[in-house]
Structure formats: structure tokens, C-alpha cells
Amino acid sequence: MNKAVDMFETLLGLLGGLALFLFGMNLMSERLQKVAGEKMRNILGLMTKNPVFGVLAGALVTAVLQSSSATTVMTIGFVSAGLMGLPQAISIILGANIGTTMTAQIIAFKISDYIFLFIFLGFIMSFVGRRERIKDIGLTIFAFGVLFLGIDTMGAAMKPLAASPVFTEMISQVAGIPILGVAVGTLMTLVVQSSSATIAVLQNFASQPGPDGTSSIIGLAGAIPILLGDNIGTTITALLASIGQSRSAKRVALSHCIFNISGALLFVWFVPAFAQFVQMISPTGPEVEVISRQIANAHTCFNVAMTLIWLPFIPLMVKAVMTILPDERRGKRKEGLSLREPAYLDRNMIAQPAAAMQMTVQEILRLAHASSDVLGRLVEAVSASDAAQLAQVEAQASDAHALSKRITSYQSEMFSMGVLTEEQAGLAARLMRVQNEVTRIDALAGSAAGNLKGSHYTKTARKGLHDSLDIVREMLSRSVTALENGDAQVVEYARHMYETVFNIGIDLRKDHVRRVAQGECDPELTEQYNNILLTVDRMGDACVNIAEAARAIDFGYFIVVDDEQAPSEDEGERDDERDVPTADAPKADAAPQNA
């Protein structure tokens, strides 16, 4: 009876300690992402010029965020947004595998005497801090303490196991058969869904003394196969998590799987030699005192060695991944993808704001370039007096409005989840402002096309409309480009050209009055013609608003790797209460008229 009670208490201790560890790890990673996530995202974007920089970026970001999952998700977001190719993504994943070994290195430190100090300080900072950043730092420190409290709890629960002859015999069987150890490690990670947790458990368990009181109950040679299995288990977890996600997510998960499984299959044949090498580079002393550090070093050496092996063969891994998961679409967009359908937004990424914001930027940029195409078609339609092209402008404007609603819905979901930092929330609000201006231009273009249908304007009137619309089209094109490259000079250009459009509108109204007086134009078209000129004026005003956004651009969001995918924009703060003419604007009569 007592043995059953003891086993139950041991099991509760292990599960409780594991729960504390996972809670602390997840909370620490979440808060670190809020504190440093934006800076880490910038590092990922800027340090991918070659595979070596990609590895360094992945290792640094993962070491800081204490989450290879966060790094992987940001990388997937970059790939899905067309800002990063698969080779760069794979180099970052290689680095992330190195960075994640920092967790085991930290666990190897003996800080049991300071656990409650970390918990207390973190609680006080999060409880009394007024600023969001201070609260996040406090919760990070608190989570760090809880993480180590979980480790100590697991360690205390494992002590009775080390004294059990039955359990000791089972462990000796695992330690003597490397393949069995790999299977145990894989199964552990699949159950716990965290390689960091299972490696922490392994470090704690290996630190328990055997019968002689100084040797580890399992030894380094017995721990290494389990460690290799932990690495395999985490790749299967990633593969399962990628089900239902984008093809980019599946490819990144598959490359991670190839990396770790190939490493485990290679190292399992050299466990004794690898153990001797790790012991040689690790601190000396009684085995139970140093084995936690030895396991951490083995984890680091394994990932560094496999990174060095795979680094020259990244093109080979890309080819293998592309063969297993071939393209479903060319470039980044499906053939014939309607403007109504988002090309970049991925709802699986909403919980990761850095990646989701990147995708939102790219989708808004796509909307802006489509708006420039709409204006170009409108210019051609006015010049040729082509009713079919005017109808296409109306259809494109409707599609753009539908896409804008999808973008707004995506951002609203991010807001509702409460995952955005103050900086990200501010950027999201500014992006919505720019999106509104772009959508406004589309609605105005559709309204102008509707007013122009069924009316025959004089050559002079069409020439004036063509010239003013062409100026607005160029303003929009230049403004969007400024959002990509941060060209603040475009603001003065846009304002100057807006004045030109305004003055052209005045001259066109004067000319129209003169033609009406001379009987050359139908006076009943005066209101319609005036509304079209007002619409052009409002388009120019919207272009100025977009141009002004370039002055507050965050360059970190506009990193271009794929030349086919242009980047996006950032801010527009002008408060404009003007209405967008839609169905209320006067339409042309069914019968052709002249103006």
C-alpha cells in the first residue's frame, strides 16, 4: 500500500513539476516575444543575405525568445508573404535548432537558491508596473522562476525512482540499447509536445545518483540516444502542427524534420565516441554534478555539427522539400487568383503578430498596386471612350472593396486576440488608415466609371479628364513606391501635383461652362461632369494622404527578397472627413448624351 502511495506521489510530483515547467516556458516565451519580438523580426529580415547570416539570425532570435516555434512561425510568415525564399528560411531553421539548445544550457545552471527571488521580483514588477513593457519584463522574470521551480519539483519527485531496483533495471536496458533510447525520447516528446521539457526531464533524471552515489543513474552514453529521440519527436510535432496550414508551413516543417532525423540516424552509430568527446569538452567532477551540463553540451554539439554538415547542402534540402511538396501555384499567387481573394493572409498565423502583421502589409500593398492598375484602365477608357473598359473598372473596384473587407476582418481578429504590443497596435491602426485611402480611391474610380458610361464627351472634355486622371495615377504609383522605400520627398511632389489637378479641374469647369454657353455641350450633363471632376480631386487628396504615410514608414516591414513581390506601406495620420461617392453619385441616362 505504501509503495502504491509513494508511486502516486512521485507521479503527481513529476506531472506537477512538468506543468510548472511548461507554464513557465510558455509564459516566458510569450512575454519575450512581446518585449523583443519586433527587434527579432527585423534581425530575421535583415540577416538573410546568405545562409551563414541566416543561421546566425535564427540562432540569435531563438536564443533570445527561448522559442524555436516562434522563430519558425515568423519565418513561415516571411515565406508566405513572399519576402523570403525557402533557402533563406531553411538557413534560419538550422540556426533555430542551435538557438533552442540555450534552454538546456540555462537549465544546467544550479540556481535553486534563487528561484523564489526571481518569482518575487517578477511578481512585484508585473503587479506594480504601469507601463506595458515593465509588466512584460516582470512576467518574463516571474516565468523564469516558475520554470526552475518546475525543474526542482521534478528533480525532487525523481529521487525515489533512483532507489528503485526495478526502475534501475529498466533504465539499464534502455541505456544499453541506443535504438530503444531513441524510441523512448521520441515517445516522450510526442506525449509532452515539447522537446525543451523532455530534455529538462532528462537532465534532471540523469542527475540522480546510482547505487554508488556518484555515478549517474543512466550515464551520458545512455542519455544521448534519448536526446536524439527528443530531437526526432519535436519534428513530428512540427509536422502535425503544419497540417491544414499553408504549403510554406509544410515545407519549413519538413525541412526541420529532415534535419533532425538525418542527424539522429547519423549520431546513433557513434554514441560512445560522441559521449567521450562531450565529456572531454565539459567540466570535470562527480558525474551526477556535471551530467546536466554534459547533456546540454551534447545537445548543442549535435545541432552545431548537423548545421555545419547541412549548410553547404541547403540547395539539396530545398530540392528534396520541393520534390516532396511541389508547387501548387506559380510565384506566390495562384494562376487567375481573383483580387477578391487574399494572396498572403493566413489565419493560422494570427496568434503570431509579427508574422501576421507582415502578411497584412503585403496584402495592403497588393491592394494598392491593384488600385494603380484600376486607375490606369480608367485613363485608357476615358481616352478611348470605351464602355467595356469602364465596366471592367467598376468590376475591379468592387473586387478591391471585397479584398479590403477581408483585410479588415483579418486585422480585427488580431485585435480581438489581444496579442499585439502597443507598437504593433499603432502600426495596425496606421495600416488600416492607408488601406482606407486606397479603398477610397477604388470606390472613387468605380463611381467615375459609372458616371462616364452612356455619355459621349467632346474631345476637349475627354482630353482634360484623361490628363487629370493620368496625373492622379502617377501620384498613386509614386506614393506606393515611397511607402516601399521611405522616400519622404514624394510628399512635396504629391502636394504639388494635387494643386495641379485642382487647377486643371477649375479650368475644365470653365471650359465646360463656355461650351454650354456656345451650345456645344448638353447643359443637363453639368452636374454629372462636375461630380466626375470632384471625384478626381478626391482621388488626388487620397494620394497625398498615402504619400504622407511614407514619412513614418517602418523599414523592417518592407524587406524585399523576391523581386516579383513588392513591399508595402505604413502610416497615414491625416484626419479626413470627406465622403466617398458611391451609388449616390448621379449616373448617366440610358440614352447617349454629349458634354
Give the pLDDT confidence of 292-322 residue by residue, as tens digits. 999 999 999 999 999 999 999 999 999 999 8
Strands 455-456 and 593-594: parallel
Residue 432 is predicted with a pLDDT of 85
Between 499 and 419, the more confident residue is 499
Between 231-235, 331-335, 350-354, the lowest mean confidence (pLDDT) is in 331-335
The amino acid sitting at 285 is G
Share of the chain above pLDDT 70, in %: 82
Task: For residue 73, count CB atoms less than 10 angstroms from its CB and return exposed for 0-12, middle for 13-18, buried for 19 or more.
Answer: buried
For residue 571, pLDDT beyond 50: no
For residue 579, pLDDT beyond 80: no
Three-state secondary-structure class, residue 209: strand
CA distance 77 to 83: 9
CA 533 centroid distance within chain: 42
Q: What is the DSSP letter of 188?
A: H
The amino acid sitting at 83 is L
Partnered with residue 593 across adjacent β-strands are 455
Q: What is the pTM of this model?
A: 0.69
Q: Which three cell numbers stand for residue 316?
A: 539539396
A 10 A CB-CB count for 520 gives 15
CA distance 91 to 312: 10
Q: Can you list the alpha helix ranges (DSSP code H) found in 66-177?
A: 68-80, 86-99, 101-107, 115-128, 132-162, 165-176
Three-state secondary-structure class, residue 593: strand
Q: What is the DSSP letter of 216?
A: B
Contacts of 539 (CB under 8 A, 6+ apart): 375, 441, 444, 445, 469, 472, 476
CA distance 334 to 361: 19
The amino acid sitting at 32 is L
Q: How confident is the model at residue 556 (pLDDT cuts 50, 70, 90)?
A: very low
Q: How many angstroms separate the Cα of 358 from the Cα of each of 253, 361, 403, 583?
A: 20, 5, 17, 34
Residue 166 is predicted with a pLDDT of 62
Residue 360 is predicted with a pLDDT of 86
Residue 12 is predicted with a pLDDT of 86
Q: Are 391 and 449 in contact (CB under 8 A)?
A: yes
Residue 167 is predicted with a pLDDT of 64
Could you report the per-residue pLDDT of 448-480, keeping only the tens digit for each? 888 887 667 777 887 888 888 889 888 888 888
CA distance 455 to 146: 74
Domains and CATH numbers, the chain: 2-324 (no CATH), 349-559 (1.20.58.220)
For residue 278, pLDDT beyond 70: yes
CA 306 centroid distance within chain: 26
For residue 334, pLDDT beyond 70: no
User: Torsion-angle region of residue 566: left (phi > 0), alpha (psi -120 to 50) or beta?
Assistant: beta
Nearest CA among 2, 33, 3 for reference residue 353: 33
Q: How confident is the model at residue 558 (pLDDT cuts 50, 70, 90)?
A: very low
> Nearest 5°: phi and psi at 331?
65, -130
Q: What is the DSSP letter of 421?
A: -
For residue 30, pLDDT beyond 80: no
CA 564 centroid distance within chain: 19
